[in-house]
């Protein structure tokens, strides 16, 4: 059995990890940390886990993390980078669900995240955990940077077009919407029910932290420098709990059978579903599942291709993708613990 620990188990990604790992046939949960909730039974905070998780939250300084085979960091940005070196030296593998190791340019990371990086020596080693791109590197990794939710939906939607060089890389547009859970489990005015319900708004238009991450991934796929990717990324907050819907626009530079390109690119991918032409994927079609559904449109037969990409931000956009990465790192069936039927309604 794989002994797993979770640092920061009280947020939405933390409880989603608990939900998925509790039923994973190859995993034993041995530690779940929370400074504020140390000593509290997990099932008391999350009654949905009653009968599935019998652990108590422990203070990070007392948790047996170095006895784990793998530790998941479901923490705010800046935490994993402070503890990674010690855990790696103890032979523990790490999956960071925050952004500490996603961006390869340390100066760029520090600019966007507003802090000095505590472990810059680990940046080159860290593997970006998008299995549809880096599957073999993830298998050999001991440190995986789990992608962000917006970057997952956006990259999976653009990748087949970028890889085949049939679109204009100078004028890409990602118009993306997220449910309120993407803001985390905390009390802030803009995500209160009376503020977010019956409302819809853009945010981070002048610059969002996921922009350099998306641009880096698309540049790697195109074999170019990130500065050569012209991407406009605008996120929006929607009055729903879960889900991301990314509407992606790309100008066609070479005629291809675009539907075939997507179907062939993702034919062997267990968690990417390319829908028939003219489909309209819905966020509720992937709720609580580790699935990305994609559909293509070409409005009025013009020169702009529209890609619709939907995921559950807490599963394929966070905890589910982390479990997918763990399966690869320990040479398990990639789908172990993740063959989940989406929840409806």
How far, in Å, CA of 341 to CA of 16, rounded?
Answer: 15
- Is the same domain home to 288 and 204? yes
- Is the same domain home to 286 and 181? yes
Query: What's the rounded mean pLDDT across residues 86-91?
Result: 97
- Is the same domain home to 46 and 92? yes
- CA distances in angstroms from 333 to 23, 101, 294, 329, 342, listed in the order given: 15, 25, 24, 10, 20
- Is the same domain home to 118 and 177? no
Say if 320 falls within a structural domain. Answer: no
SS3 89: helix
Does residue 292 carry a catalytic annotation? Answer: no
User: What CATH number should be reported for the domain holding residue 255?
Assistant: 3.30.360.10
The 3 state secondary structure assigned to 217-263 is: HHHHHHCCCHHHCCEEEEEEECCCCCCEEEEEEEEECCCCCHHHHHH
Say if 334 falls within a structural domain. Answer: no
Domain that holds residue 177: 150-313
**Residue pLDDT, tens place only, 177-209:** 999 998 888 778 787 888 888 999 999 999 999
Q: Looking at 68, 149, 292, 335, which residue is catalytic?
A: 149
**Residue pLDDT, tens place only, 211-234:** 999 999 999 999 999 999 999 999
pTM reported for the whole predicted model:
0.96
- Is the same domain home to 188 and 118? no
User: What CATH number should be reported for the domain holding residue 26?
Assistant: 3.40.50.720
- Is the same domain home to 237 and 201? yes
Instruction: Give the pair of three-digit tokens for residue 185.
Output: 């489990």
C-beta of residue 256 within 8 angstroms of C-beta of residue 270? no
Q: How many domains does the chain have?
A: 2
Say if 94 falls within a structural domain. Answer: yes
């Amino acid at each position: 059995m794989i002994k797993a620990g979770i640092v920061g188990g009280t947020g939405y990604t933390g409880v989603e990890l608990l939900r998925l790992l509790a039923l994973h046939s190859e995993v034993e949960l041995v530690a779940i940390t929370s400074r504020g909730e140390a000593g509290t039974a997990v099932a008391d905070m999350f009654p949905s886990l009653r009968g599935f998780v019998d652990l108590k939250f422990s203070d990070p300084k007392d948790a047996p993390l170095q006895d784990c085979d793998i530790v998941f960091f479901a923490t705010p940005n800046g935490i994993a980078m402070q503890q990674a070196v010690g855990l790696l030296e103890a032979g523990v593998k790490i999956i960071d669900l925050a952004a500490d190791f996603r961006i390869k340019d340390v100066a760029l990371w520090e600019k966007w995240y507003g802090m000095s990086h505590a472990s810059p020596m680990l940046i080159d080693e860290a593997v970006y955990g998008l299995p549809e791109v880096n599957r073999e590197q993830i298998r050999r990794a001991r440190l995986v940077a789990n992608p962000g939710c917006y970057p997952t939906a956006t990259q999976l939607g653009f990748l087949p077009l970028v890889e085949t060089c049939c679109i204009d890389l100078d004028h890409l547009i990602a118009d993306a919407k997220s449910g309120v859970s993407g803001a985390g489990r905390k009390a802030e005015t803009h995500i209160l029910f009376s503020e977010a319900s019956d409302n819809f708004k853009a945010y981070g238009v002048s610059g969002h932290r996921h922009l350099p991450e998306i641009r880096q991934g698309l540049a790697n796929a195109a074999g170019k420098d990130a500065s050569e990717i012209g991407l406009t990324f605008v996120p929006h907050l929607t009055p729903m709990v879960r889900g991301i819907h990314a509407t992606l626009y790309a100008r066609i530079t070479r005629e291809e059978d675009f539907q075939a390109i997507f179907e062939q690119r993702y034919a062997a991918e267990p968690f990417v579903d390319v829908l028939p032409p003219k489909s309209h994927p819905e966020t509720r079609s992937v709720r609580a599942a580790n699935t990305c559904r994609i559909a293509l449109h070409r409005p009025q037969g013009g020169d702009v291709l529209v890609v619709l990409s939907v995921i559950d931000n807490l599963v394929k956009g966070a905890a589910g993708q982390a479990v997918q990465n763990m399966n690869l790192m320990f040479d398990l069936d990639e789908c172990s613990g993740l063959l989940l039927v989406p929840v409806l309604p």
